[in-house]
């Protein structure tokens, strides 16, 4: 995070890593005797914006090779005898071919019927869990067909002004729900279905929709099982639902001429500690869930995917004098995350215990389905990242910087990122001057934009080239595009 005034030289992004992480050691086994905030951070030149702590010396170092098409991404080289990518000889080749054949057979046999999710428990690394679904699966009919229930986990969303929309299983349309017959208990049950503890507010909205859904009186665990299609709503009133009071700054004061954040100013910002060192940022979205970046948990380093090795700190603006940590129950990585292109770079952390909200700890709002912030919109990104390109440690203070949304078309120009920005990403920064950007250690943190007094999580800090360089803006995971994934995982992992 650039701590300097906006006219100062831009901060850059790269450090060096000198060894792999220790295999499957617990947090308690490593952090004895260290002061809060102590860090020894290292990052390879081609990595996304996160900082890995090297707690102890383990094995000989990885060999880092730079790959131009995928900026800020590390590759393992088979030139090292200890490299995990070396299988050796024709036997290794045969083994890989057998695995490939099995993968192809599974794809042909099951196709889209297999739904995968990456997660981890407290004791073992993340594993691939497949959700098997019968051939006659019908999505969003209120009946669980798939083993893990993924067929009923993508059926609810929110439209403009919080309008509740439910997917009609007959034609696949998302339709509003009529307000007639709706009650507080219906609101609580719907929010609980989505992974929230209860509802926060329910209101009636006017609608001009020609089709809608009405309560049928049927008993079901899901809202999609309790509604049916109707021509229109009585009095044209539909349900507007809020599951959590979110996006409220408890302090709007700023340090004049500086970029250090004040307590309560960004109350959803959290610091993710891996073996007692700040490694990534994150955003609190409810009492139980934090949104962050998938690349903070590299699959090549199994210790990073063990939930007990992480601590989450909320309500802080300094890495010193940390409060009690939130423990992580489960790490959920997007199953389509591509470490080479950084596509689908998003993860969800489920906490062991619900967070108590306060003036310094509050959730950020998730955007509504149709909510977009056009190019030129001024938004803010925050974090504890490095402040200089060649720095070997991050900031001990939470820092903020304003950035402008940049269109994907502009960001994909040959002079910028040459087509590397996918529809699941968005760019923000200052193309012409640079100097305003995220940096190493800010990974997983929020890019937020304000509307009508509330702040919405628009992006998750993902990758970029350098810090604050001209024509190299920050690239963020596009939260609006990934909303269905967020809600589906919250529903499947609901407390």
The set of residues, in sequence order, having a beta carbon less than 8 Å from that of 245 and lying 6+ positions away, is 200, 201, 362, 363
Under DSSP, is residue 129 helix (H, G, I), strand (E, B) or coil? Answer: strand
d(CA 345, CA 334): 7
Active site residue 345: yes
Say how far apart CA 266 and CA 382 lie, in whole Å: 8
Catalytic residue among 343, 345, 437, 442: 345
Q: Is 173 helix (H, G, I), strand (E, B) or coil?
A: coil
Within 13 Å and on the Cβ side, how many CA atoms surround 97? 6
Cβ burial, residue 172 (10 Å; 0-12/13-18/19+):
exposed
Active-site residue, selected from the candidate residues 302, 443, 462, 477: 443
**Of 14, 117, 295, 360, which is the active-site residue?**
295
Using the structure block, give the residue that is written with the tokens 């969003």.
Answer: 140
**CA angle, 291 then 71 then 97, to 5°:** 90
The span from the CA of 181 to the CA of 387, in Å, is 55
Cβ proximity of 385 and 446 under 8 Å: no
Distances (CA, A) of 58 to 22, 81, 337: 6, 15, 28
- The alpha carbon of residue 266 and the mean position of all alpha carbons in its chain are separated, in whole angstroms, by 17
Alpha carbon separation from 133 to 116, 127, 151, 290 (Å, rounded): 11, 19, 8, 29
443 is an active site residue: yes
Q: How many helices (H) and strands (E) does the chain have?
A: 5, 25
Residue 296, CB-side half-sphere exposure with 13 Å CA sphere: 34
Write out the two tokens for 91: 């036997």
- Sorted by sequence, the CB contacts under 8 Å of residue 293 that are 6+ apart come out as 48, 50, 280, 345, 346, 347, 443, 444, 460, 461, 462, 477
- Provide the annotated active-site residues: 295, 345, 443
């Amino acid at each position: 995070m650039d701590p300097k005034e906006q006219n100062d030289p831009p901060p850059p992004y790269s450090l060096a890593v000198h060894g792999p992480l220790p295999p499957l050691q617990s947090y308690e086994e490593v952090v004895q005797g260290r002061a809060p905030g102590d860090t020894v951070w290292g990052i390879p030149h081609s990595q996304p914006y996160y900082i890995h702590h090297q707690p102890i010396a383990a094995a000989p170092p990885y060999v880092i090779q730079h790959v131009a098409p995928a900026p800020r991404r590390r590759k393992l080289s088979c030139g090292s005898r200890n490299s995990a990518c070396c299988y050796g000889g024709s036997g290794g080749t045969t083994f890989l071919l057998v695995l490939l054949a099995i993968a192809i057979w599974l794809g042909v046999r099951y196709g889209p019927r297999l739904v995968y999710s990456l997660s981890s428990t407290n004791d073992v690394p993340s594993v691939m869990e497949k959700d098997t679904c019968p051939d006659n699966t019908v999505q969003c009919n209120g009946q669980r067909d798939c083993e893990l229930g993924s067929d009923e986990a993508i059926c609810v969303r929110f439209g403009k002004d919080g309008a509740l929309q439910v997917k009609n299983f007959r034609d696949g349309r998302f339709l509003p729900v009529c307000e007639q017959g709706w009650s507080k208990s219906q609101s609580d049950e719907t929010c609980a279905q989505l992974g929230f503890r209860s509802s926060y507010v329910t209101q009636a909205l006017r609608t001009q929709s020609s089709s809608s859904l009405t309560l049928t009186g049927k008993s079901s665990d899901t809202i999609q099982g309790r509604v049916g299609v109707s021509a229109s709503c009585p009095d044209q009133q539909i349900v507007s639902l809020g599951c959590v009071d979110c996006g409220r700054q408890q302090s709007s004061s700023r340090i004049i001429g500086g970029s250090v954040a004040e307590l309560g100013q960004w109350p959803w910002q959290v610091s993710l500690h891996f073996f007692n060192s700040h490694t990534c940022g994150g955003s609190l979205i409810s009492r139980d869930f934090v949104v962050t970046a998938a690349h903070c948990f590299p699959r090549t380093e199994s210790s990073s995917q063990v939930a007990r090795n992480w601590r989450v700190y909320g309500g802080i603006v300094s890495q010193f004098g940390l409060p009690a940590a939130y423990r992580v129950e489960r790490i959920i990585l997007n199953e389509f995350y591509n470490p080479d292109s950084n596509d689908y770079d998003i993860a969800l952390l489920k906490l062991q215990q619900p967070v108590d909200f306060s003036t310094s700890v509050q959730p950020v709002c998730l955007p509504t389905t149709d909510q977009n912030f056009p190019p030129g919109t001024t938004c803010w990104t925050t974090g504890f990242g490095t402040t200089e390109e060649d720095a070997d440690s991050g900031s001990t203070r939470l820092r903020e910087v304003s950035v402008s949304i940049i269109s994907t078309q502009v960001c994909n120009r040959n002079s910028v990122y040459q087509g590397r920005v996918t529809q699941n990403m968005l760019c923000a920064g200052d193309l012409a001057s640079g100097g305003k950007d995220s940096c190493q250690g800010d990974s997983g943190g929020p890019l937020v934009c304000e509307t009508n007094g509330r702040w919405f999580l628009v992006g998750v800090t993902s990758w970029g080239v350098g810090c604050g360089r001209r024509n190299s803006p920050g690239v963020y995971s596009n939260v609006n595009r990934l909303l269905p994934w967020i809600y589906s995982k919250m529903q499947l992992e609901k407390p």
